[in-house]
Structure 1
Amino acid sequence: MTVFKHIIKDRILQITVIITIISLFFARPRIADINFHTLFSVLAMLTIIQIFAYLHVLDVIAYKLTTHAKNTRRLAATFTFLSVIAGMFLTNDITVLTLIPLYLTIAKKHKLPEILPVTLIGMGANVGAAFTPWGNPHNIFVVNQYNVSPLKFFSWSLPLLVVSIFILLLFLAFVKPVDIPSVPQQDIRISMRPTILTAAVFFFFFFGVFNVVPAYVPAIVAVILALIINPSIMLHVDYALLLTFTCFFIFISDIQQIPLIVGLISKAMFSEHSVFLTSIISSQFISNVPSTILIGRFTKYAEALFLGSNIGGFGSIVGSMANMLVFKSFVEHGSVSKSRFFWVFTVLEYIGLIILMGLGWLVLDFVL
């Protein structure tokens, strides 16, 4: 019952269901348009994430690292770059949901700054997630939709990662280095055998993403492992996200059968730069996951779509699901002004967006 309540309360899913139902009045979805490879890959990823969360892997890493922080800037940097690394492997959503409450618990105890460090943790999660094909669900879609090889994908994501890290370093310079007491390490233990098994399944998951094995195979293996470790793990899988993806595919299947809409979208897809800008702008209003799936049906410019969708995750609070989760976590756990956090977060996000837009434009001009 709790799972069902979580699903029906998901605002993104609610909106997606409504527009999908409306689209059914104009056309009927085609099974061939539903990307089952992406759906199985997302299911595998979400299941593996919950196994790692259940095993407290990220909690242990975070506490071990923070015991060595001597001042506020170093602590903020530790959490920021831990979020980058975690975002690469555990997605940006699970990273912010884990690290932000953890940081705010420490910050409230020692009266540390909250607004800027939390903003940087959220940005770091988006930076890391953009680097890997599995860090963001829409990256899985791009890899599968355009049959992108690992080498090609990382040749796209590496420049984005490098410049994004410089942006984070620039913002970290504004965190005042005030001495803090040592952060005591909590007694959180992990079981090595299930952790190693989960890491192995996570490695096997890559084979599904890159079409070495059918995508449903890693999904089945991940679900079986979760049931063996603890069946309750499956109760925490983000089924709302999975259903949202399914609705996106149905909606897009419908609208691409409407000549007027196809004509309008096609006119905006005439070059790499137009795809890049359209992806960024649409992400600011409908989030980068639905934007990617929608635009991906109408363009052949894979790298422009990749850059636009990941850079579009910066900017507005709805640019990515992780941004919304950052704000939600701060509202629940922060102890200072929520409105001030919103404005600081938004301003820094848009500064990052503008810098990365310049990078993306140059890449499309001189690298492609």
Structure 2
Amino acid sequence: MMHPSPAAPGRFLQWLRAEWLLVLLLILLPPLLWLVPQEGAQLAALIDWKTIGALAGLMVLSRGLELSGAIDRAGRSLLARLGNERRLALALVLFAALLAAVVTNDVALFVTVPLTLSLARILPLRTGRLVIFQALAVNAGSTLSPVGNPQNLFLWQISGLGFGEFLMTMLPLGLAMLAVLILLVPLGFAPHRLPSRRDVPTPPLQRGLMILSLAAYPLFLALVNAGHALPAAMAVIALYAIAFRGLLRGIDWPLLLVFVLMFLDLGLLGRLPVIADLVPRALHLPGGAYTLGALLSQGMSNVPAAIFLAPFSPDLQALAWGVSVGGFGLAIGSLANLIALRLARVPGLWREFHLWSLPVFALSLAAGALLLPG
């Protein structure tokens, strides 16, 4: 007779902790369907398939750039030229921010946080604080780009704007958020010199994977910009399945299901009569979609807030700015914050994170209110 492994419950609990958002969305779907019955075609129409396709392609391409070792090498080469902790912190903030604008905020963290942890093993660094500033940096940097984070990607797809138009729409806020963070670096890090002990081992460079990823990335973005996100994503997945099949096994495919469920759950929630009446009223309060997006992100994270509020708000720029600022503040404001804190595993980091993130939220909210047109 077969008996379950004693480790099986532990593995299941570990999976639940890792995929808590997926589980929550699955649990919410049946009662929402009971409250707001929908046919199959109506349900499918709630999902923004262009966003799903764009996200799938970017996940694969970003993973290709990450595994090629090109980004890691560039970061290590930059950091090797720095002599004190403050310059190191500033370089990591700028590197994480610019990287997030290209390969999304969570991928940027999966590159920069392990790099920081490897440096901390041989240098006396304020590891936790460096990770906090990187989490804040990817939220600021990802604001600059239509593909920097999932909420931008979604709002770009439904806005009808071109890549460059959306980028210019977000540029003032992104630069203001990054400026706030840069101004705080001297408060968080001293200019004392770091001892030079030995070089951090550099990972091997996979040239074929690097060349393919660098060549395919702009072509994929051009196709997404032209409205062909789904076929472009299928082509990217097929290309990597042929050339680098092992890479596809490391993709966070459950994340795509999370986004499908977000569209379904939040779309159904928005059709509840009480919600359909309440949200338009809230949008007429001072600050409108900007303030509501920033505040709602503090309770449900900025990606769900963007998906939930988009059907109600005609002012997509205000909404995009609001949920971008909403990535600061409480850790739940952005999933990137949770990823960074989880990767760092530094005791007491949650408290210190909020000591920095809440002031950044207040300053960025004020800056955005001053810069927002109209």
The two structures share one fold, judged by TM-score above 0.5: yes
Which residue of structure 1 aligns with residue 7 of structure 2?
A: none
Whole-angstrom CA distance in 2 between matches of 1:299 and 1:220: 31
User: What displacement does 1:302 show?
Assistant: 0.6
Is 1:21 matched up with 2:30? yes
Whole-angstrom CA distance in 2 between matches of 1:264 and 1:344: 35
Which residue of structure 2 aligns with residue 83 of structure 1?
A: 96
Query: Identity of paired residues, percent?
Result: 23
Q: Do the aligned residues in 2 keep the contact of 1:63 with 1:186 (CA within 8 Å)?
A: no
User: What displacement does 1:234 show?
Assistant: 1.2
User: What displacement does 1:6 show?
Assistant: 5.7
Partner residue of 1:188 out of 191, 203, 214: 203
- RMSD over aligned CA atoms reads 2.1
User: What displacement does 1:272 show?
Assistant: 8.2
Partner residue of 1:141 out of 144, 154, 162: 154
Whole-angstrom CA distance in 2 between matches of 1:7 and 1:85: 33
Whole-angstrom CA distance in 1 between matches of 2:113 and 2:205: 21
Matched residue SS, 1:24? helix
Q: Do the aligned residues in 1 keep the contact of 2:119 with 2:200 (CA within 8 Å)?
A: no
User: What displacement does 1:185 show?
Assistant: 4.7
**Which blocks of at least 5 consecutive residues in structure 2 are unaligned?**
1-10
Whole-angstrom CA distance in 2 between matches of 1:202 and 1:290: 26
Whole-angstrom CA distance in 2 between matches of 1:76 and 1:161: 19
Deviations 1:35-78 (A, max 9, x none): 11111111111111111122122211111111111111121122
Whole-angstrom CA distance in 1 between matches of 2:220 and 2:25: 27
For normalisation by structure 1, the TM-score amounts to 0.91
Amino acid at match of 1:72: E
Partner residue of 2:119 out of 106, 120, 124: 106
Whole-angstrom CA distance in 2 between matches of 1:200 and 1:21: 43
**How many pairs does the alignment contain?**
357
Is 1:297 matched up with 2:311? yes
Whole-angstrom CA distance in 2 between matches of 1:8 and 1:234: 23
Which residue of structure 2 aligns with residue 199 of structure 1?
A: 214
Whole-angstrom CA distance in 1 between matches of 2:34 and 2:92: 48
For normalisation by structure 2, the TM-score amounts to 0.89
Whole-angstrom CA distance in 1 between matches of 2:286 and 2:204: 49
Which residue of structure 2 aligns with residue 345 of structure 1?
A: 353
Amino acid at match of 2:31: I
1:195-344 superposed matches below 5 A = 195-210=210-225, 212-270=226-284, 273-331=287-345, 334=346, 338-339=347-348, 341-344=349-352
Amino acid at match of 2:137: G
Matched residue SS, 1:173? helix
Whole-angstrom CA distance in 2 between matches of 1:34 and 1:7: 25
Q: Do the aligned residues in 1 keep the contact of 2:241 with 2:248 (CA within 8 Å)?
A: yes
Whole-angstrom CA distance in 2 between matches of 1:128 and 1:15: 29
Structure 1 residue ranges, 4+ long, deviating more than 6 angstroms after superposition: none
**Which blocks of at least 5 consecutive residues in structure 1 are unaligned?**
none
Whole-angstrom CA distance in 2 between matches of 1:213 and 1:200: 20
Whole-angstrom CA distance in 2 between matches of 1:21 and 1:110: 52
Q: Do the aligned residues in 2 keep the contact of 1:7 with 1:240 (CA within 8 Å)?
A: no
Q: Do the aligned residues in 2 keep the contact of 1:201 with 1:221 (CA within 8 Å)?
A: no
